[in-house]
């Protein structure tokens, strides 16, 4: 799956899947922010999207590790040793 970062007609920046038309997310900058960023608003949006994707990956890995630990603990608890 490929992602594209595009600028919409209204000036917002959007993240879209290559095979879909609807954006997954949009980032809008106020006129003041665009003025301060000059022509760098696209680069700032790319950095914001990249940071968000990194955070999702990090949280997903933490969740998977937590679920794996829970399953292992439940598996150990399921067996009763009788002497």
72 vs 36, which has greater pLDDT?
Answer: 36
Number of domains in the chain: 1
| Domain-embedded: residue 17 | yes
pLDDT recorded at residue 65: 75
pLDDT tens-digit series, residues 39-72: 899 999 999 999 998 988 888 877 777 777 776 7
| Domain-embedded: residue 47 | yes
Residue 73 CA from chain centroid, whole number: 30
pTM of the model: 0.67
Quick one: 33 exposed, middle or buried, by C-beta within 10 A (0-12, 13-18, 19+)?
exposed
| Domain-embedded: residue 83 | no
Cross-strand pairs, 4:
16
Assess contact for 26 and 13: CB atoms under 8 A: yes
Assess contact for 38 and 29: CB atoms under 8 A: no
Range of the domain at 17: 3-76
């Amino acid at each position: 799956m490929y992602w594209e970062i595009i600028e919409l007609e209204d000036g917002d920046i959007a993240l879209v899947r290559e095979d879909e038309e609807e954006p997954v997310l949009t980032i809008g900058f106020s006129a003041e922010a665009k003025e301060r960023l000059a022509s760098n608003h696209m680069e700032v949006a790319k950095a914001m999207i990249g940071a968000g994707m990194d955070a999702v990956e990090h949280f997903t890995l933490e969740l998977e590790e937590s679920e794996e630990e829970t399953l292992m603990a439940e598996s150990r608890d399921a067996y009763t040793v009788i002497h």
